Structure formats: C-alpha cells, structure tokens
Amino acid sequence: MGHNSFYVTTPIYYVNDKPHIGHAYTTILADVLARYHRLMDEPTHFLTGTDEHGQKVQQAAKANNVSPLEHCNNTVVRFQELWQRLGITHDDFIRTTEPRHTQIVQAILSDLHERGLIYSASYKGWYCVPCERFYTEKDLVDGKCPECHRNTEELEERSYFFKMSQYQDRLIDYIESHPEFIQPAHRRQETLGFLKKQPLGDLCISRPKARLSWGIELPFDHDYVTYVWFDALVNYISAVGYRTNDALFSQWWPASYHLIGKDILTTHTVYWPTMLMAMGVELPKTVFAHGWWLVGDTKMSKSLNNVVNPMAMIDQYGVDAFRYFLMAGMSLGQDASFTEKIFVERYNADLANDLGNLASRAIKMIERNFAGLMPPCAEIGDDERELATLCLAAAGNMAEAVKNMQLDNGLGTVLATVREANRYFDKMKPWVLAKSGDLATLGRVLRHTMECLRIASGLLYPCMPKKMTILRRALGISEDAITPHMPRLSQWNVLSEGAKVALDEALFPRAEYKEDAPAAAPPAMAPTPKEKASKKADAVPGVISIAEVGKVKLQTAEIIAAEPVANSDKLLKLQVRIDQDLRQIVSGIAKFYSPDSLIGKHVIVITNLKPAVLRGVESNGMLLAAEHQGVLRLITTDGPIPSGASVG
C-alpha cells in the first residue's frame, strides 16, 4: 500500500434501524479524521455503508409486505440522507446486497471450503433470534441470551464451520507483538483476556434457508446462506477491490482504522483477523473501539424511548454545532454523556461566546475603523508573540491529537487558544484605542486577533466545515485558500492586508435550552427538583400535575400481526408498527379479540413503558383499552392517522 495513504472505515449499519446518535458519532468521527488527513495531503479513502442481510431485515420486510431488497432500498435512504445533511464526505458507500460484495463473499467461501478451512458438522445449541446467534448451554444467563437477555430456543442442525480455532495462538501472538492493532489499550486487554481464557471454538458461518433465506447463498450448498457477520466484515475489502482490482486493493489495504463501538469488539478483533489470516490477507493496522453515548447516565434504548435523534438536533442547533459537540464531548475510548442541556451549555460557552463573539467583535471593529479592510500586521510585541506561539502550538497539537486519536484534546487546545485571544483582546481594550484614535495599535490588535481566528478556523474546519468556511470568508481569505492547508496553519502573518473583511450574521447565535421542549430525547423520567417542589405544593390525593401526564408517552400504532401466547388463554402476542419501527407487545385481550380481527387496527399504545416479560414473551408497551362489566374494547382512532403520531 502507499505508505502515506489513509483508509478509514465505519461499521456498516443495520439498515432496519433508524440512524441515531451512535451511528452519527462514528460516521462524523471518520469524516473528521478523513478531512484532517486530506488537509495533510495524504491520499485518503473513507468507506461507510449498510449491513442488509439477516433475520431482522427479513422479518421487517415481511411485516411491511415488501421483499427484503425493497425494504432495504426503502430504508437505506435514511442513512444516506443523514450523511448528506451531516456533511459526510465518504468516498464510497457499500451495501452488502450489491453484487460487488456478494460475489467476493462467495469467492472467499469457495476458496476456504476448497482448502478445508470450512467444513460441515451437526450442531446443537441455544439460538437467540434477535441476536441471530447460537450459544452453548453454559453461555446462557438464567437460560437467556447473554447479550440481549431474551429467551433462546434449543436447535439442532447441520451447519458449516470456519476453522477459527486453529488461529488462536497466531492471533494472540499477533496482538501481543502489534500493540497498535487493538486500541485503546484496555480493549486490547479485553480481547487478549477472552482469547486466553478458553480454547477458541470454530465459527458457525451458515444458516439454513429454511429458517433464514435473506442472505448470501453458500456457493457449495444451496440450502444455506452465510452468517451475517461473515458476510458483513468482508465489506472492508470487497469495497476496495479485493480479488478484482489488485492495484486499488494494494493502494488502500491494510486499512488504517476500522472505527467501531465497543460492543462489536469480538467480531472485529477475533472473527475478522482470523478470517483474514485464513485468506492470507494482511490485518488492518488498527481496530479502534470507541465508547458509548449515554443519555445522562442511562443507556440509550428504544424501550426507554430516550434515543437521541440526530436529525432533530441538527434542525434545532445546526450541523456544525452537533458535529463539534460529538467530537469535543467524547474522550475516545470512554463512554460519554449526552443531554440537550449539556449540549446547549457547551455550545454557548465554546462556540457562541468564545469563538463566535470574538469573531464578530473583531470584524465589526475592522468594519468601523478600517472601512472593512484587513489592517497590516505591523510590529509584534510580547503579547502578540505569546498569542502567536500559542496558536502555532495548537496546530502542532492538533496534528498529534489526530495521530493519537485524541480529537477532544486537540479541539480543547484550539478552544483554549481562542480563549487566550479573548483575553488578549480584552487586555488591549481596542475600543479605547479606537476612541483615542490610536489606529496603529488598534490595527495591530485586530490583525493579530484575526490571525488567531484564521488558525482556529483552519484547525476546526474538519469538524465544522460549513461554519468555518463562513468564518474564513469573513476573514477575507480568498476562495482558492478557503479550504485550509495544514502547513499554512503553522505560519503567522498569512492574511492579506487590505482584504475585504465582513461577517453578515452571528456565526453561532446563542441557544436557549427549554426544558419542556427537547429536540432530541424526552427529559429523564426522574422528577426534576422543580417537579418535586410542585408535587409537594399540589399534593392533593388522586390529582396529578400536567408534568406527570406528560411522562406517559402515548402514540398511535397499527397492529401488523397477532398470535396467541402459548399456555395462556388471556394473552396475545402482537407486532405493532409505530412510524418506521416494529414493536412486540403482549396484551391481555385474547378473550375479547381473535388474532385475525386485530390486523390493521389503529390503536393507542403507551410507548415508554418499562419492558416486561409475560409468560416468557417480551412486551414493549401497553395498548389502551376500556373495560366495563366484563366487556373490553380497544381504544382506536376516530379516522385514519399515521402510526407514530403522538397522543395527548
């Protein structure tokens, strides 16, 4: 590969999920890294895409009455649209249903099968449908799936296995001799711990079509499709010409970074490297596992109804502010907390106050005192020298931060420099200089402030490309230099004297956080101190406040499927559609409704109810119904209204 090239990948996202902040985070991170590397003139390739096979897609397609591919075609656009809005500059978007991918997966399978590295055997185990994974009895926790804690079914079937076990020692050696391979270090320890704890088993890489038909057919047995992970991981090489375009492949492979979330560490640091070893392909240079975004200190989940919707955040605060918050707010490798309140506080402090205000104050003074033309650089005093040294150091710091995957540190240094420029500005009191007519000193102060803003705008550009383009234009930078070039950011006195300086509107208008109108996720369920106080005040038995009513989230839903729950004459297991999502709800209405009579009914559901397990079946929500003297009727809507509409 070209030694200087940079190839970064994101996980390919399950197409049946709505994109959330976690998906947005990894993709923005990859984008910011790709943009930095491009600014450093490194040939860069950035790949993202979607993971389109598997049980969940098959089920969702069935529920929507469309073919699985149609379902994928309909839903992939959610990701593509979001990436466009977020200003993501991927070079390629791979879908695992594309022939350029499926053909390579099949070629790899044939090859490994012919070489005896894939064999057939009978397998008995416990299968978790949502996770699409088999477990041994000892893996189960209280008889349930160790990952998602749902029920598993015991199944026996003939399957195909990849001889993963034979690579165990080689993989341990590789990880130990390549400390950069798994980062951060604690994740490396996690994988090593896993590999050293027990003998590594072989990997079941097939699923019988009788159970799951939506997958890549095994080239040597038409009754089976490929296990989704064995299919999905290959995207990283099928997209860059593995087996089809050697020149392209050697240009980009091995990848510089596979960026992943911590939950998919084993697949990327055990399955994937052993697959590559079997294929005789070099391993990626680094698999980097980042932490999770939590909402407050709670895990994000559909059933808690606290999933942060990136589109809502962008609508309210703008793309660049959202990108900035995600990059500055997470120390790579650790979990981070997202709440709209923290977001607004950081936005106001860093962007509206420190950066935006300084730019608008300095530019306004140039407009007023220098007819909007950039003043000369003039002589440099101690204060200016200090400021310049800091700014130039920030450029070096950022390059290091990018190399060491410490973007939050790099951004922190830039913002610290901007704060220093604010101090310099306030210390020099340009408004006093303007009043006294000392234009020479005034010009010097403004010009040095502008130089600092130029460097900051360049260093922040990969993170906030739109706003920093506006800022750079406002600083009078000519169009051919609007995209910053890293070496220029390590020089002082670059702006052109006499260039037109102008900023039409505030770069980052101050935002206000309104507690009762969240853009992204509903407020936490715990009462706020204000709520607690109001509760005390109106403590009339049986009477609740409007805030308490607001805690119950009611939505319209359409019943898509219904069936009885085994060993119960009261319960029905329902699948309901709520906007684009499907949910399973168990409801005690079997005595009043036959399953068939329910299909297509538009009902009202409590959607933020804690999940429960009834007769071994998970239930995520509750249908509203009225009961009177032994008669029960579901509450439905008076006329058509789309599912997912909020009720209240």
Would you tell me which residues interact with ligand MSP (CB under 6 A)? Answer: 11-14, 17, 22-23, 25-26, 51, 232-233, 235, 260-261, 263-264, 292-293, 300
Query: At closest approach, how far in Å is the CB of 201 from ligand MSP?
Result: 20
Least Cβ distance, residue 122 to ligand MSP (angstroms): 28
CB of residue 284 vs ligand MSP: minimum separation in angstroms?
12
Give the nearer residue to ligand MSP in terms of CB position, either 441 or 620. Answer: 620
| Nearer to ligand MSP among residue 14 and residue 242 (C-beta) | 14
Q: Give the dihedral sign, CA 577/578/581/584.
A: negative
Q: Which is nearer to ligand MSP, 57 or 617 (CB)?
A: 57
Output the smallest distance, CB 11 to ligand MSP, in A.
4
The two structure tokens encoding residue 604: 């009202």
Q: Which is nearer to ligand MSP, 292 or 324 (CB)?
A: 292
In the chain, what's the furthest Cα-to-Cα distance?
91
Q: How many Cα atoms within 13 Å fall on the side-chain side of residue 386?
A: 10
Q: How far is the CB of 51 from ligand MSP (least distance, A)?
A: 3
8 A C-beta contact, residue 616 and residue 145? no
**For ligand MSP, which residue has the nearest CB?**
261
Minimum distance between the CB of residue 299 and ligand MSP, rounded to whole angstroms? 7
The residue among 131 and 635 lying less far from ligand MSP, judged by its C-beta, is 131
Q: Are 622 and 593 in contact (CB under 8 A)?
A: no
For the CA atoms of 616, 617, 621, 622, what is the dihedral angle to 10 degrees?
-80
**Nearer Cβ to ligand MSP, position 225 or 477?**
225
Taking the C-alpha atoms of residue 487 and residue 484, their distance in angstroms, rounded to an integer, is 9
Which lies closer to ligand MSP via its Cβ, residue 51 or residue 558? 51
Complex with ligand MSP: residue 98 or 157, whichever CB lies closer: 98
Question: What is the Cα–Cα distance from 71 to 18, expressed in whole angstroms?
Answer: 13
Comparison of 68 and 261: residue with beta carbon closer to ligand MSP: 261
Pairwise CA distance, residues 189 & 68, whole Å: 39
Q: How far is the CB of 152 from ligand MSP (least distance, A)?
A: 20
**Residue 361: other Cβ atoms inside 10 A:** 16
| Half-sphere CA count of 569, side-chain side, radius 13 A | 1
Cβ closer to ligand MSP: 17 or 451?
A: 17
Long-range pairs for 313-319: beta carbons < 8 A, 24 or more residues apart: 313/21, 313/340, 313/343, 313/519, 313/520, 314/85, 314/86, 315/519, 316/511, 316/519, 317/343, 317/344, 317/347, 317/511, 317/519, 318/467, 319/85, 319/86, 319/87, 319/466
- Residue 319's closest CA among 522, 470, 485, 422? 470
In the complex, least distance from residue 54 CB atom to ligand MSP, rounded to whole angstroms: 9
Minimum Å gap between C-beta 300 and ligand MSP is 5
Dist CA 389 CA 391 (whole Å): 6
CB of 387 to ligand MSP, least distance (A): 37
The residue among 78 and 577 lying less far from ligand MSP, judged by its C-beta, is 78
Tell me the torsion sign for CA atoms 482, 486, 492, 493: negative
CB of 474 to ligand MSP, least distance (A): 34
Smaller CB distance to ligand MSP: residue 13 or 424? 13
* Total Cβ atoms within 10 A of residue 283: 20
Give residues with Cβ within 8 angstroms of 636, minimum separation 6.
601, 602, 603, 604
| 3-state secondary structure at position 337 | strand
Contact 563, 595 (CB under 8 A): yes
* Smallest distance, ligand MSP to C-beta of residue 68, A: 15
CA distance 257 to 7: 7
* Range 102-139 burial, b when 16+ CB lie within 10 A, else e: bebbbbbbebbbeeebbeeeebebbbbbebbbbbeeee
Q: How far is the CB of 262 from ligand MSP (least distance, A)?
A: 6
Structure-block tokens of residue 188: 């490396």
For ligand MSP, the closer CB: 264 or 623: 264
